[in-house]
Amino acid sequence: MITRSKAPFRVSFGGGGTDMAPYCIEHGGCVISTTIDRHVYITLKQRDDKKIHIFSINLNKEFEFKVGDRDYSTEFELFKGIINVLEIKDGLDIVINSELPAGSGMGGSSSLSVALIGALNKHYNLGLSRHNIAQKAYDIERIELKQKGGYQDQFAAAYGGFNYIEFTGDVDVIPLNVSEEMINELQYRLILCYVGGFHFSSDIQDEVLKGYEFEKKSFVEAMQDLKDVAHSMREIIESNNLKILNEFGELLHKGWLAKKSLSSKISNKNIENFYLTSRKFGVLGGKLLGAGGGGHLLLFSKPNLKFKVIQELEKIGGKIVNFHFNPRGLEVWKIK
């Protein structure tokens, strides 16, 4: 019996950072995001021994550990955490295939967590709902493995589609009421550009959380700006009024300025070069996806200048990623 799963990558429009504890528990947080047609795939098959054998197609790497191993200082520690928390006792062959590189800024590690937990859920009939799977993924990453970060990636990957997600003591995933026309126009205006670089988001999130710990005024104001941006974006998207869509691009810019103020590690000269070039040739606003430091820029262009922007970004080394919105979240199936 082979069990296979896939979980999508997410694109966050606004509110990222406000989903981190303890800030969101004490003050409330919110994000607006969607998922795209790029996935992390997991294939698993049971073994006759007590070993977990992992093969990453993308990295062309193999790794093996015994069931019950809690040494999280090694590679593939995420797999150890999931196997331990779900109390899996069997040996497994696990194959990973990701359609985007690690450190892309689109929640890939959480998509991987959701895909693996989803596959194990079906393989062992654990009875976990989408919400349970997302919460388990969060608990494993943040509590078991002690990696800094927020809630949004796990829930976006599990649910899929356009959502406004609120974070307090609980997580409330609210599907957006958005027309096909709005989705299509938003799709047409957006550019996804890979700018290179790599980040370990936990390091950046750690610096951001220090701002909250020391109650810096600038931090509090920036977080409020990020929440306001997410709320305003929701109003624009659900208005289904294409005439005011330029305001969405301007909000992306406002959110990017607020996010950069949280940490010196979020942006750098390379990222700024790409962003300022795009603004020069017709982009109204944009943001770096993920915690920062590298990955993908999401840019909102004037419609008649989109392809000029793409040409200019490619001239300076940007790699344009063609994508489409994907309304589906986690999917799991068995091969008998």
pLDDT by residue (tens digit) across 272-325? 999 999 999 999 999 999 767 788 999 999 999 999 999 999 999 999 999 999
Cis preceding-peptide flag for 327 (omega within 30 of 0): no
177 vs 240: CA distance, rounded Å: 9
Chain-centroid distance, C-alpha 314 = 24
Question: Catalytic annotation on 71?
Answer: no
* Window from 130-144, 154-168, 205-219, 256-270 with minimum mean pLDDT: 205-219
Catalytic residue among 19, 37, 90, 153: 153
Residue from 266, 288, 264, 265 nearest 276 by CA = 288
pLDDT for the residue numbered 148:
84
Residue 202 confidence (pLDDT): 58
One-letter amino acid for residue 125 of the chain: N
Looking at 11-15, 165-169, 241-245, which range is the least confident one? 165-169
Q: How confident is the model at residue 133 (pLDDT cuts 50, 70, 90)?
A: very high
Indicate where the chain has its CATH 3.30.70.890 domain(s). Answer: 180-320
pLDDT of the residue at 206: 67
* pLDDT over 70 percentage in the chain: 94
180-320 belongs to which homologous superfamily? GHMP kinase, C-terminal domain (3.30.70.890)
Contact 119, 330 (CB under 8 A): no
Whether the pLDDT of residue 259 is over 60: the answer is yes
- Residue-level pLDDT at 198: 61
Is the CATH code 3.30.230.10 the one for domain 2-177?
Answer: yes
The pLDDT tens digits for 205-215 are 666 666 666 66
pLDDT of residue 60: 95
- Residue ranges, CATH 3.30.230.10, the chain: 2-177
CA distance 253 to 318: 19
Query: Is the pLDDT confidence value at 200 over 60?
Result: no
Average pLDDT over all residues of the chain: 92
